[in-house]
Amino acid sequence: WNSWNHYGCNINEHIVRATADALVSSGLSKMGYTYVNIDDCWAELKRDNNDRLVPSRSKFPSGIKALSDYVHSKGLKLGIYSDAGYYTCQKQPGSLGHEQVDADTFAFWGVDYLKYDNCYNDGSKPEARYPKMRDALLRTGRPIFYSLCEWGVDVPATWAPKIGSSWRTTGDIEDKWESVISRADLNDKFAPYARPGGWNDPDMLEVGNGHMTMDEYGSHFSIWALMKAPLLIGCDVTSMNKGTSRILSNQEVIAVNQDHKGIQGRKVSKQGDLEVWAGPLSNNRIAFNSCLVFVWTVNTTAQRSGSKSPREPYSISEGSCLQNSSWSKSDPQMQNLAIRTTSPLPKSSQCPQPLGYDHGLDSTWPLSLLAYEKGTLHST
């Protein structure tokens, strides 16, 4: 969870504590939502006499250390925000030139995650500034997830894997469909660079913030999961409705995101407004976003493109009958936005007879899928 998308600068320790409580009571923490991340606007405008950052006395009167202890007592982890510039984006003290003292402060507080922004910098390349904080964090001896947030300006996917745990590939997301699909498209370009230990980050989730339909939120969550993007909840989890909870807690979709192969799914087909996104999973499975009940595959092999050492390709024999696992079996209204995982059925299983296929996909992912649903054949 991250505070920014819903609260912006209106953040305080009560909200953070209540969020930690809600992540546990809702069951979300057991599904893997374990980070509680404070974004910008948490600090005083001036450092103390020892040049250390000071938590806002009005917003965080108990201090970050006490808050960290509380979050840890819930079995969760605490994240915080700083900037590789002189100021943060909201003009609070940045960490440029103070990397070690700030890293030491974060470690002393018990911080587990650092989002590191790129505002008000000195004009030097992010590739030169971001390693300084990496090195400072490593010297503390505390494991801290290092999230680079330079908005994809200098193509961080090409250099950030040596520096951080994730890197933003896009500008800030907004709670509207156009923003979601544009960030997905931008992030898609860098799929070959994502892998376990280093992830492309198309920004935080907007699910539940109220300006998109539930279908759009379902698609948003599905595509982020397929892309192996960090799933950072961005809504008020203390008052989320059932639809929001159902999306964020869908264990099948979360499992796609957390699959141990860690290969980012990609846009494999676009015909007009119809897009198909797909990616390989462990155990010879495929995940894709489509309304499919039965899938036939013909000549299905795929591997990462643009890599000097391609990952292990995945394949399913020609003519195999695949059975999908629905995004939500009880939500037929969301079926056109569904995320599906497929796995081979036993040879004895009954499958609909395919009438043909239309591969219609690019050379990167040469999949040919034919679907049968409610008596109608669909090819994608």
What are the catalytic residues? 117, 172
Q: Residue 33 and residue 27: Cα distance in Å, rounded?
A: 9
User: For 26-161, where are the alpha helices, taking DSSP H only?
Assistant: 63-73, 99-109, 126-140
Closest listed residue to residue 254, CA positions, set 279, 222, 286: 222
Q: Residue 1 and residue 5: Cα distance in Å, rounded?
A: 10
Strands 113-117 and 145-148 come out as parallel
Question: Is residue 372 classed as helix, strand or coil in its secondary structure?
Answer: strand
What are the Cα distances from residue 27, in Å, to 32, 75, 93, 246, 353?
9, 12, 36, 11, 42
Q: Residue 108 and residue 192: Cα distance in Å, rounded?
A: 36
Write b or e for each residue in 332-344: b if 16 or more Cβ atoms lie within 10 A of its Cβ, otherwise e.
Answer: eebbebbbbbbeb
Asked if 144 and 35 count as a contact pair (C-beta separation under 8 A), the reply is: no
User: For the chain, where are the alpha helices, taking DSSP H only?
Assistant: 4-7, 13-25, 63-73, 99-109, 126-140, 177-188, 214-226, 242-248, 251-257
Residue with tokens 């059925």: 345
Sign of the alpha-carbon torsion through 22, 24, 29, 31: negative
Residue with tokens 């391609």: 310
